[in-house]
């Protein structure tokens, strides 16, 4: 399967597993899981026939590692980014001293006033990888990287969670913990 096909399937999976499982007539379990066979059958009924091999390739080769199989490889879910009411079951974790968030300069005034808000998502997403955050910011316009004083936030009682693909999550980053990187 070529890179374009992988990306197309990945985007479709993201849409279904993060936002609209009902678009293909399925639902997700409380922690976001769905049986692989159920998912593949629903895609086929909606004119999008994917094979188990293609699905596994997308999970393994997705550059952002957005998806994961359960231990038995019978169920699949998105690791983060849901707009649905999902409990991913992540346990609180101690973050690194600093985390990064990528956004566009057009959002900067609002962010510096209100902080980073989760908006329609379950959490604010952060990373230790500057290149990843730069790419995230570029999706929305002229990019800017924000540094988050995660150590101080944690010391002040804010909870952090980390996904299997090293995306850090929190409910809100107040403006006092943010610094715009040059």
* 43 assigned to some structural domain: yes
Residues 6+ apart with CB under 8 A from 40: 50, 51, 52, 55
Residues 72, 111 share a domain = no
* 134 occurs within a structural domain: yes
The answer on 106 and 173 residing in a single domain is yes
Those residues whose C-beta lies under 8 Å from the C-beta of residue 158, and which sit 6 or more positions away, are 170, 171, 172
Query: Which DSSP string do the residues of the chain spell out, in sequence order?
Result: --HHHHHHHHHHHHIIIII-GGGGT----TTS-EEHHHHHHHHHHTT----HHHHHHHHHH-TT--EEE-TTSSEEEESS--SS-----PPB-PPPSEEEEEEEGGGHHHHHHH-EE-TTSSSEEEBS-HHHHHHHHHTTSSEEEEEEEHHHHHHTT---EE-TT--EEESEE-GGGEEE--
Q: Is residue 102 part of a domain?
A: yes
Dump pLDDT digits (tens) for 44-97: 999 999 999 999 999 998 877 889 999 999 999 999 888 888 888 888 999 999
| Same structural domain, 103 and 54 | no
Find the mean pLDDT for residues 153-182: 95
CATH number, residue 53: 1.10.10.970
* Listed range (24-28, 70-74, 121-125, 161-165) with the worst mean pLDDT: 121-125
Determine, yes or no, domain membership for 91. no
Same domain? For 8 and 45 the reply is: yes
74 lies in the same domain as 110: no
What pLDDT score does 1 carry?
A: 79
Q: pTM of the prediction?
A: 0.75
Q: How far apart are CA 25 and CA 11, in angstroms?
A: 18
Let me know whether 119 and 169 are in one domain: yes
Residue 106: pLDDT band with limits 50, 70, 90: very high
Q: Where does a domain end: 12, 44, 78?
A: 78
Q: For the purposes of burial, counting CB atoms within 10 Å of the CB of 60, is it exposed (0-12), middle (13-18) or buried (19 or more)? A: exposed
pLDDT of residue 3: 86
Cβ 19 vs Cβ 83: under 8 Å: yes
Domain containing 67 equals: 3-78
Q: For the CA atoms of the chain, what is the radius of gyration? A: 17
CA distances from 96 to 37, 120, 126, 161 (A): 38, 26, 11, 11
Please count the structural domains in the chain. Answer: 2
């Amino acid at each position: 399967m070529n890179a374009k096909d992988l990306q197309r399937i990945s985007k479709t999976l993201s849409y279904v597993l993060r936002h609209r499982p009902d678009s293909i007539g399925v639902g997700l379990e409380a922690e976001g899981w769905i049986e692989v066979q159920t998912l593949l059958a629903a895609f086929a009924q909606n004119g999008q026939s994917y094979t188990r091999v293609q699905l596994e390739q997308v999970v393994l080769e997705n550059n952002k590692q957005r998806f994961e199989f359960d231990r038995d490889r019978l169920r699949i879910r998105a690791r983060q980014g849901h707009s649905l009411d999902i409990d991913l079951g992540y346990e609180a974790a101690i973050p690194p001293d600093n985390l990064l968030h990528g956004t566009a300069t057009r959002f900067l005034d609002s962010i510096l006033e209100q902080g980073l808000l989760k908006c329609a998502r379950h959490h604010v997403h952060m990373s230790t990888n500057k290149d990843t955050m730069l790419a995230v910011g570029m999706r929305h316009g002229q990019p800017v990287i924000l540094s988050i004083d995660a150590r101080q936030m944690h010391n002040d009682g804010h909870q952090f969670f980390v996904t299997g693909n090293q995306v850090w999550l929190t409910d809100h980053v107040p403006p006092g913990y943010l610094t715009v990187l040059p």
